[in-house]
Amino acid sequence: MTRATDLIAAERDRQMTEEGYDAEHDAGGHDGLALAAATYALPRRHHTPNAYLETHYSPAPPATWPWDPRVFKPDADRVRELVKAGALIAAAIDSLLAPVGEP
């Protein structure tokens, strides 16, 4: 594994153990999980010297966020947001691969 995949695996484990977002919770939710992953993966802050872009960063979820805005947890750390996105993609894949009738 690479450092990135280790970080993603650790985040997925945290989501399941600390947040309760296990396979049963995620069953059938692959589209929402993928949209949430995309939301975290999309840049919301442009890392440029452009003062306009820097001052118009919003912690509010974009229109792509599929769930209650209160569960959107943006992070100023770009790596952290990409790790969240990767873990959510893993959850979406697991949801698709779960046998029919099983979480």
Note the pLDDT tens digit of each residue in 58-93.
677 888 999 999 999 988 888 999 999 999 999 999
Domain interval for residue 14: 3-97
73 located within any domain: yes
When divided into structural domains, the chain yields a total of 1
- Residue 30: inside a domain: yes
82 lies in a domain?
yes
Buried b (16+ CB within 10 A) or exposed e, 9-32: eebbeebbeeeebeeeebeebbeb
Residue 102: inside a domain: no
Q: Which of 6-20, 25-39, 45-59, 77-91 has the lowest mean pLDDT?
A: 45-59
Secondary structure of residue 37 in the 3-state scheme: helix
- Domain presence at residue 21: yes
Q: Alpha-carbon Rg of the chain, whole angstroms?
A: 15
Alpha-carbon distance of 81 to 94, in angstroms, equals 20
Residues 12, 25 contacting (CB under 8 angstroms): no
Q: Is 103 contained in some domain?
A: no
